[in-house]
């Protein structure tokens, strides 16, 4: 029988270096800086640095999640008109990696030909970008996975790269609702992608209450090469 760790109310002790000093918790996105807003694959960085991509439906809270993890307030911007951002915005990390903020999808009030063009760009990035080491899918915890989320994952998960699902806006739910929302997302993923169970993590997350921020930090840190 598999043993499970016992969770207590006491916070875990911070790890310590050989000198006895506490090792600071990882904050891989802290200090991120803007690099480029790419409207075409040829404009994306070609230096081979590892990339972590953030994707999600319009209004799911993707920009707020990136800002919370970067410990900044204005790094990632949400368009005043949802669905209008048609570029992949790239940020550089202090440790040498990159973060790619992918265009939001699923907003109806966008011309069909424009929507098709940038969704093709998004699909090409997800399925062919060789430097992509992990995907963060931002999902509104109150609404769960939608068809466009699973369409994106259909293209991504066969690559056997890790997935972190942030169930955002969890501060708008009570504790039981947060638990149930995260479990519903896990169950939907397990049913559709049983082969990817060991690659996928679902976290309740709130940029407002900071719920899930440190847990997400640790996961993203593990995706990046060690110095």
- How far is it between the farthest Cα atoms of the chain? 60
Of the listed ranges 14-28, 40-54, 82-96, 191-205, the one predicted with least confidence: 14-28
pLDDT in tens, 83-102: 446 789 999 999 899 999 99
With H, G, I as helix, E, B as strand and everything else as coil, classify residue 144: coil
The pLDDT of residue 21: 57
Query: Is the Cβ–Cβ distance between 125 and 100 less than 8 Å?
Result: yes
pLDDT in tens, 9-26: 334 444 555 555 567 788
Q: Which percentage of the chain shows pLDDT scores above 90?
A: 67
Which fold would CATH assign to domain 33-223?
Answer: Rossmann fold (3.40.50)
The pLDDT of residue 10: 38
Phi, psi of 163 (to 5 degrees): -130, 130
Give the whole-angstrom CA distance, residue 9 versus residue 175.
15
Six token digits for residue 37: 């807003």
Q: What share of the chain is helix, strand, coil (3-state, %, to 5)?
A: 35, 20, 45
Looking at the predicted structure, is the pLDDT value of residue 109 above 80? no
Residue whose entry in the numeric block shows the structure tokens 């997800």: 126
Six token digits for residue 123: 């699909």
Interval 41-69 mean pLDDT: 94
Q: What angle do CA 100, 35, 69 make, to 5 degrees?
A: 50
What b/e sequence results for 61-92 when a residue is b if at least 16 CB atoms lie within 10 Å of its CB, and e otherwise? bbbbbbbbbbebeebbebeeebbebbbbbbbb
Give the whole-angstrom CA distance, residue 123 versus residue 118.
9
pLDDT in tens, 123-134: 899 999 999 999
Q: What is the mean pLDDT of the chain?
A: 85
Give the whole-angstrom CA distance, residue 27 versus residue 137.
19
Looking at the predicted structure, is the pLDDT value of residue 200 above 70? yes
The pLDDT of residue 83: 47
pLDDT in tens, 141-186: 999 999 999 999 999 999 999 999 999 999 999 999 999 999 999 9
Query: Is the Cβ–Cβ distance between 220 and 164 less than 8 Å?
Result: yes
Q: What's the order of all strands across the beta sheet hosting 132-140?
A: 33-38, 88-92, 98-101, 51-56, 132-140, 163-168, 200-204
**Banded model confidence at residue 111, pLDDT cuts 50, 70, 90:** low
């Amino acid at each position: 029988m598999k043993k499970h760790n016992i969770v207590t109310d006491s916070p875990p002790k911070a790890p310590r270096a050989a000198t006895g000093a506490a090792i600071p918790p990882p904050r891989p996105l802290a200090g991120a800086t803007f690099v480029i807003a790419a409207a075409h694959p040829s404009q994306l960085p070609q230096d081979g640095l590892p990339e972590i991509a953030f994707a999600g439906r319009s209004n799911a809270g993707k920009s707020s999640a990136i800002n919370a993890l970067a410990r900044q307030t204005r790094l990632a911007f949400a368009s005043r008109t949802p669905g209008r951002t048609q570029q992949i915005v790239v940020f550089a990390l202090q440790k040498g990696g990159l973060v790619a903020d992918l265009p939001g999808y699923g907003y109806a009030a966008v011309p069909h030909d424009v929507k098709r063009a940038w969704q093709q760009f998004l699909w090409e990035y997800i399925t062919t970008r060789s430097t992509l080491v992990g995907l963060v899918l931002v999902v509104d915890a109150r609404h769960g996975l939608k068809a466009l989320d699973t369409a994106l994952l259909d293209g991504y998960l066969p690559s056997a790269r890790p997935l972190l699902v942030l169930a955002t806006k969890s501060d708008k739910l009570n504790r039981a609702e947060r638990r149930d929302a995260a479990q519903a997302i896990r169950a939907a993923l397990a049913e559709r992608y049983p082969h990817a169970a060991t690659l996928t993590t679902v976290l309740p997350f709130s940029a407002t209450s900071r719920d899930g921020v440190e847990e997400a930090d640790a996961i993203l840190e593990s995706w990046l090469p060690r110095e």
